[in-house]
């Protein structure tokens, strides 16, 4: 019998891609308006979005990864990519700070649950303990949690950046099990990342549900659904066994 549901946040409960793309477009226009010496504002925004997800060349990794503070890391990204994209002169730290804040503010404004998700959580919470397990730095994840008022919709949430280890490590799943006061066979974990969510759940003895909008083939997950609002159908199957 399933008693607890563990849930990823980004791309599972919330449409992070939509927020990212809207913020990227806004940043492109912001750079065009405020820094006309930059020839490729769109290219800059593309590079910055990739950079904050650590999709970097080995050369940039070596240059940037000693920067441990997330805010400083993103500010340095802006300096590097701004120069790469045709700026006549380097920008000041204050200007880099302003660019970073502009992106963060717009992204956060557009960050929200997928359609139907809040009602589903309300219904599920009547029968199950709900715990969100999200990877990522506190710098970006805590504001998202506050933006969607996550604590009103679930019983607990765990931010990977505050923990000794993130998904797929067992320790973060064990913390969720302890918070819910359940054994592994009494929980399921739902997420969109095979490497973090599905493998992490499987290695912890927890049944896994893969958010798989493209309906790709994967034999690792116990269940596969296109959207989060199909989760109640999986629960009905599990609790009828």
Secondary element (H or E) of residue 110: helix 93-110
Q: What are the tens digits of pLDDT across the range 130-156?
A: 999 999 999 999 999 999 999 999 999
Q: What are the tens digits of pLDDT across the range 79-131?
A: 999 888 876 567 889 999 999 999 999 999 999 999 999 999 999 999 999 99
Q: Tell me the average pLDDT across 16-42.
A: 90
pLDDT higher at 237 or 229: 229
User: For the chain, which residues make up each domain, given as ranges?
Assistant: 4-15+114-238, 17-110
Class of the CATH-defined domain 4-15+114-238: alpha beta
| pTM, entire model | 0.93
Q: Tell me the average pLDDT across 55-79.
A: 88
Q: Tell me the average pLDDT across 205-231.
A: 95
Q: Is residue 39 scored above 90 in pLDDT?
A: no
Could you please report the per-residue DSSP string of 13-80? TB-HHHHHHHHHHHHHHHHHHH-TT-S-HHHHHHHHHHHHTT---HHHHHHHTT--SHHHHHHHHHHH
pLDDT of residue 95: 92
Question: How is the beta sheet containing 207-211 ordered, strand by strand?
Answer: 156-159, 129-134, 4-7, 187-191, 207-211, 223-225
Average pLDDT, the chain: 93
Q: Tell me the average pLDDT across 171-188.
A: 98
Q: Is residue 12 scored above 80 in pLDDT?
A: yes
> Which overall architecture, per CATH, does domain 17-110 show?
Up-down Bundle (1.20)
pLDDT of residue 196: 98
């Amino acid at each position: 019998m399933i008693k607890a549901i563990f849930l990823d946040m980004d791309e599972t409960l919330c449409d992070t891609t939509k927020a990212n793309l809207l913020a990227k477009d806004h940043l492109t226009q912001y750079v065009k308006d405020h820094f006309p010496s930059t020839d490729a504002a769109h290219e800059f925004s593309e590079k910055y979005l990739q950079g904050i997800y650590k999709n970097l060349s080995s050369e940039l990794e070596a240059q940037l990864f000693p920067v441990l503070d997330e805010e400083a890391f993103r500010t340095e990204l802006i300096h590097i990519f701004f120069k790469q994209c045709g700026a006549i002169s380097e920008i000041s730290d204050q200007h880099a700070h302003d660019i970073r804040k502009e992106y963060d503010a717009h992204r956060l404004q557009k960050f929200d649950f997928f359609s139907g998700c809040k009602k589903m959580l309300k219904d599920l919470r009547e029968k199950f303990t709900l715990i969100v397990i999200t990877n990522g730095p506190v710098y970006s994840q805590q504001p998202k949690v506050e933006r969607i008022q996550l604590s009103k919709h679930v019983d607990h949430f765990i931010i990977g950046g505050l923990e000794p280890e993130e998904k797929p490590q067992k320790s973060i799943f064990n913390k969720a099990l302890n918070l819910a006061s359940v054994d592994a066979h009494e929980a399921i974990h739902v997420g969109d990342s095979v490497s973090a969510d599905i493998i992490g759940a499987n290695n912890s003895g927890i049944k896994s549900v893969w958010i798989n909008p493209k309906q790709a083939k994967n034999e690792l997950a116990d269940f596969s659904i296109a959207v989060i609002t199909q989760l109640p159908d999986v629960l009905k199957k599990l609790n009828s066994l």
